[in-house]
Amino acid sequence: MNENDMSPVDQPTTTPFQRAPNLRQRILVVEDDAVIRHLNTEVLTCSGYQVDDAVDGQAAWDALQMYNYDLVVTDNNMPKMTGVELIKKLQDAHMDLPVIMATGTVPDAEFERYPCLQPAVTLLKPHTFEDLINAVKAVLRATSDAVQEIAPPPNWPVQPLANRFRT
CB atoms within 10 A of CB 68: 8
> What pLDDT is attached to residue 23?
53
pLDDT of residue 144: 76
Q: Which CA distances in Å does 49 have to 23, 94, 133, 140?
A: 9, 24, 10, 11
Residue 20 counted as domain residue: no
Can you give the pLDDT of all 167 residues of the chain as single tens digits?
554 554 444 444 443 433 333 357 999 999 999 999 999 999 999 999 999 999 999 999 999 999 999 999 999 999 999 999 999 999 999 999 999 999 998 888 888 898 899 999 999 999 999 999 999 999 999 987 544 444 444 554 444 444 444 44
Q: Has residue 83 been placed in a domain?
A: yes
Give the residue numbers spanning the domain of 123. Answer: 26-142
Residue 132 lies in a domain: yes
Judge whether 61 lies within some domain: yes
Residue 11 resides in a domain: no
Q: What domain count does the chain have?
A: 1
Instruction: Note whether 89 and 62 are within 8 A (CB).
Output: no
Query: Which CATH number does the domain housing residue 132 bear?
Result: 3.40.50.2300
- Kindly report the backbone phi and psi dihedral angles of residue 48, in degrees, each rounded to the nearest multiple of 5, phi listed first: 100, 5
Element housing 53 (H / E): strand 50-54
Distance in angstroms (rounded) separating the CA atoms of residues 20 and 129: 30
- Classify residue 147: in a domain, yes or no: no
Domain membership flag for residue 32: yes
Residue 44 lies in a domain: yes
